[in-house]
Amino acid sequence: QHSCKLLIVGGGSGGCTMAAKLSKYERDLIILEPNDKHYYQPMFTLIGGGMKTISQSCSSTKSVIPKNVNWIQDKVKSFNPQGNIVTTSNGDTINYDYMVVSVGLQYNYDQIIGLREALDKKDSGVCTNYSSQYVEKTYQVLQNFNGGNAIFTFPNTPIKCAGAPQKIMYIAEDYLRRKGKRNKANIIYKTSTPAIFGVKKYAQKLQQICNARNISVGTRQNLIQIDSIQNKATFEFLDEENKTESLEYSMLHVTPPMGPPDVLMKSSLSNSAGYLDVDPYTLRHNVYGNVFGIGDCTSCPTSKTGAAVAAQSIVVLKNMINVMNGKNIKEKYDGYTSCPLVTGYSKCILAEFDYDLKPLETFPINQGNELRIMFLMKKHALPFIYWNIMLKGYWNGPKTIRKIMHFGLD
Ligand code: FAD
Ligand code: UQ1
């Protein structure tokens, strides 16, 4: 029974960024977001390593939504894009002229047998940085580690921040070394992907780091079951039929399988894989021209990150304004995404790349090296940028900085 010109569904990084930007042009705006807390998820990696606390990563949703935007604390139960209407869990209906969909990804814990139970069990040694609910357990597991296998997994689905499953591994390795326990640990990375990272330049460097630090990397291996009574993890070999392996663990950091939220998947807004079916360059829906998408829930074939959201936000803004004014759209997203690959308690490789998986680095130094300055940026500057610039609608990613930095060089 609500009606608005502009509806934003999902108040995470993408939704709040778009609310901030669009509210500077349009007053008749509703944002739907069920949670009353907003997390800066990139900080979870540092929380898992004991470098930040959960409260430092969190703010109230109220404080991150512009004052002139109408926040409805509820979630979409079904989309009806033919009728320009959504229904919510509380039974409300909302009519819109234009809609931004930014519902992120859903964690499908149930796709791994025993995962939920193992995460909920206090002394299981099983943890994940991916959820605000479990991230503090990671550091407890690390502190209690007393030898054996420490296993880190990457599931057989697309995920957000594809570097995060291994960042916590490097941090754990560094932690154990500093505590004099490194020689008691076997550190093992098990990934469903064919290589340690999707971009060759960074993959080579990361593989070298694993070799040098005695970390074993198993590719095309997917965690399917956890036995938290016997502390055993079972992996399937994706390229060999019916081959599995069970390993005992003392620490098991799991990245849960992810996918588009069910509500999106079952709607006519999604493509065959269930993601919001948008043009990868204009971010406009391929069928419903009054719908745009941003962030992890979209079909854009880029690595799903907050950095990508920042770069997409200006494209969505400009294209939406033109559509609302009956003009042609021309702004294009180049696939820019970035992943600060933290490799220990003071070092970071800052991967930045585009749709072609070609490096697109901001600073005129080789970001493929482990650098302290990039670690400091990750720890201190990026949270500041997120809360104070991006969520206020003024951060479009580092493109302008890159142009200034590379002036006269390229
Ligand atoms: P989200 O921010 O997840 O927001 C989605 C929102 O939609 C949520 O608030 C949810 O409540 C809401 N929603 C869901 N369903 C509905 C519904 N039916 N109705 C209404 N609302 C709904 N990115 C980086 O750039 N750098 C990093 O270093 C980095 N590290 C990361 C480390 C970890 C451990 C994690 C978990 C993420 C990391 N990311 C990083 C990724 C980054 O957090 C996400 O890519 C970003 O938050 C995506 O924004 P989004 O708006 O698409 O989704
Ligand atoms: C970025 O813009 C961003 O958004 C604020 C992040 O966090 C969500 C990032 O992790 C990164 C790396 C960027 C890119 C920024 C610079 C300055 C290279």
Section 36-40 average pLDDT:
98
In terms of Cα–Cα distance, which of 326, 294, 293 is closest to 310?
Answer: 294
Query: Catalytic pick from 4, 161, 210, 297?
Result: 161
User: How many angstroms separate the alpha carbon of residue 63 from the centre of ligand 2?
Assistant: 21
Mean pLDDT of 380-400: 98
Tell how far the Cα of 105 is from the centroid of ligand 1, in angstroms.
7
> What percent helix, strand, coil does the chain show, rounded to 5?
30, 25, 45
Residue 406 — pLDDT band, cuts 50, 70, 90? confident
Residue whose Cα lies nearest atom 8 of ligand 1: it is: 12
Is 339 one of the annotated active-site residues of the chain? yes
Is the pLDDT at 410 greater than 90, yes or no? Answer: no
pLDDT of residue 409: 66
Shortest-distance atom of ligand 2 to CA 339: 12
Prediction ipTM score: 0.99
Give residue 236 CA to ligand 1 midpoint distance, Å: 28
Amino acid, res. 110 = D
Active site residue 161: yes
Q: What values do phi and psi take at 379, rounded to 5?
A: -75, -40
Question: Would you state the pLDDT for residue 407?
Answer: 81
Whether residue 31 has pLDDT greater than 90: yes
Instruction: Convert the pLDDT of each residue in 304-338 to its tens digit.
Output: 999 999 999 999 999 999 999 999 999 999 999 99
Pocket test of ligand 1: the residue of 296, 297, 353 to mutate, having most ligand atoms within 8 Å of its CB, is 296
pLDDT at 352 over 80: yes
b/e sequence 195-209, b meaning 16+ C-beta within 10 Å? ebbbbebbbebbeeb
pLDDT, position 156: 98
**Is the pLDDT assigned to residue 271 strictly greater than 90?**
yes
pLDDT tens, residue by residue, 330-340: 999 999 999 99
- pTM score, two decimals? 0.98
Q: Is the pLDDT of residue 408 over 80?
A: no
Q: Is 385 in the pocket of ligand 2 (CB under 6 A)?
A: yes
Average pLDDT, the chain: 97
